[in-house]
Amino acid sequence: MARQARPRTEWALSFALCTLSIAMLLAGTACHADLNDPAGQAEELSDPVRREHAIGRLHAIFSQRLVEAKGDRAAASLKEFADVTVEQMNKTYMEHPEDTHNGLKILQLMAELRDARNVPALLKALEWQAEVTEDHAVTAARTLSETDVPADRRGEVIDAICKALKRVEGARGVDNRMRKAFIEVLGKLKDKRATETLIEVALTQEESQNFLFNKLAAQQLVGIADPSAVDAMVKALYLFDPNNPMMRMMEDAESVLVAIGKPAIEPLVKTIKGENEEVNKLVELSIETFRRKDADVAAKMNKDALVARESVLTLGKLGFPEALNTLLAETKEVHKDRRATAALALTSIAASEADTKRIFDAMVEVYEKSDKQARPQLLVAFRHLYADQVMEFLHGVAKTTERELPPVQMYGFVSYSLLANKAESVNLGPILEKEEIIKPHIEEYRVTIKAAQECDKDPACWIGKLKDKDKIILRKAASMLARYGRDNDDAIKGLVELFEHTDLEVRNEALSAVDHIATKGSDVAVKKIEELEAKEAGRSIWNNFAREALPTRSRLVNRAGG
C-alpha cells in the first residue's frame, strides 16, 4: 500500500524544529572560548561542565608556549598567560573544594607557573584532608619551594606549612611524601620562623617517623643558620636511630653548627667538659643499645671519649682560633682516641704562624703516642697544615722503612710528595728506588718530582698545572697552591673549577686548598658549592663531597662576614 503523504503542517513543524536545533547548537558552539585563548579558557573554569576541558586546554597552551620560548619562563608569552589565568584559577580552586580531581590539575598548572599570585590557593591546598587531598598539599608545598614568596606573605606561608607538617602522624607512603615536601620547602624559604618546627622534627623519635626525616629536618637548618638552634643541634650530634644505632645525624648537625658559627663554640666546649647532661644521657643510651646487640663492642666504648668526640670534631670544623686552647688541651688527654680526634680537628683552625707551630708540636706528640693503625690518617692531617715545618717530619716518616705496617711509610711519602718544592723533591727519588714493599703504591707519585722541578714555589706555574689531565698532578698543584698561594684570586678561581672534577680526591684536595688560602672568604667558591648541591643532589659523588664541602662553604661565608 502506498505510503500516505505527511501533512504540510507537520513538515513545516519538523523543519522549524530542526532549524532551531541547529541554531541552538551553533549558538552553543559560539559561546565557548577559542581553544588557544588562555583568558577564555580560564573563564570556563567556573563552569563545572566545561572545567575539565578548560584546564586541559590551559595545560596544552602553556606547554606549547614554553616550548616556543625554549624553556624561558620569563618570556613575554608566558607572563601574558599568567596575567590572564592566575586570578580565575585561584578563584576556582578556592570556591570549589569538592572538585578535587580538577583542583589537583589546577595546582599542577600553578606548579608550572611558579607565580607568587597563586599563594592564596596554595595556602588553601595545605589544609589537607586525610584520604582526600594529601596530593594537593604535596603539590602546593613543592610549588612554594619553586616560587619567590613575597616577604609580606612569608610568615603566613611558613605558619601554614608548619601546621600542615605537625598534622602528619602516620607512616603511609603519602604521609612520607607530605613530610618530605613540607620539610624541604621550609628549608628553601630560609626563614628563622621555621626553626622551631624543624628542630621539633629533627629531635622527634617515634615509630611513625623514619629517622631519615630527622636528618632531613636538620639539613634544612643549615641555610637558616639560626643561633637559637645551637643547643638542639649539639644534642643532635649524638642522636641515633634506636632501630639502627649506626645511623646518626652528626654530619647534619655539624653542618648546622658550622653555619651558625661562633655562637656554637661555648656550648660545644661545655659538652666536651662533660657539662651537657642531655648529651651524657644520650651517650649512655647509645652504649646500652650497642650492648644489647654486641656486648664486646660496647665493652670497648669509653663514655667520656664518645662525649668529647663529636663536639671536638665540630669545634675544629668551625675553624675559629678561639677553639684552639680547648683542642690543644684535648691532645693531652689520657684516652688515645680523644688525643687523636683533637689532632685531626686542629688542622681546620684558621691559625697564625705562631699558632701553627703550637698545633704542629701538639700533633707530633699525639702521633708519637698513637698506635700505628692511627698514624696514616694523622699523616694526611699533617699535610693539610700546609706548613714548612711539617716537611722535615714527613720526610723522616717517608724514608723510614716500615715492615710492620707499610701504609704508615706510604702515607708519609704521599703527603711529602704532594707538598715538596723543587729542593725538597730531590729526596723523593732515592725513596722510590729503595723501598720495594711500597713502591707499587707510590710509583704514580714520581710525576710530582718533575712538576716540582718545573714550578717550585711559583703560584702562576701551579695555576697552569690545574688544567693537567693527570689526577696526581692536579692534587699536587692544589697542595702547592695551598702552601704558596695565600689569597691569590687566580689560584682560588682555578681551584674552584676542580670542585666538579669526576675524581673525589681531586675535588677534596682543591676544596682543602681553597679553605686554606681564602682567608677573607670566597664568593666564587660558595656559589660553585651551591651550584653543585643543586645539580648533583642525590648522587654518590655529591654525598661524599658534601661532608667537607658544606662546612667549608659555611667557613668561607663566615670569613666574608656573612
3-state helix/strand/coil string of 62-91: HHHHHHHCCCCCCCHHHHHHHHHHHHHHHH
Lowest average pLDDT, out of 258-262, 287-291, 425-429, goes to 287-291
Q: Is 177:141 a contact under the CB 8 Å cutoff? A: no
Average pLDDT of every residue of the chain: 92
Q: Which residues contact 288 (CB under 8 A, 6 or more apart)?
A: 298
CB atoms within 10 A of CB 346: 28
CB atoms within 10 A of CB 91: 15
Three cell numbers, residue 548: 667537607
Three cell numbers, residue 296: 664486646
Lowest average pLDDT, out of 32-41, 100-109, 488-497, goes to 32-41
Q: How far apart are CA 76 and CA 74, in angstroms?
A: 6
Phi and psi of 244, rounded to 5°?
Answer: -150, 85
pLDDT at 1 over 50: no
Three cell numbers, residue 374: 692511627
Single-letter amino acid code for the residue at 205: Q
Angle, CA of 524, 526 and 531, to the nearest 5° = 95
Q: Is 546:510 a contact under the CB 8 Å cutoff? A: no
DSSP state of 33: P
What pLDDT digit, counting tens, does each position of 191-247 carry? Answer: 999 999 999 999 999 989 999 999 999 999 999 999 999 999 999 999 999 888 889
pLDDT at 384 over 70: yes
Q: How far apart are CA 137 and CA 145, in angstroms?
A: 12
pTM score, whole prediction: 0.88
pLDDT at 28 over 50: no
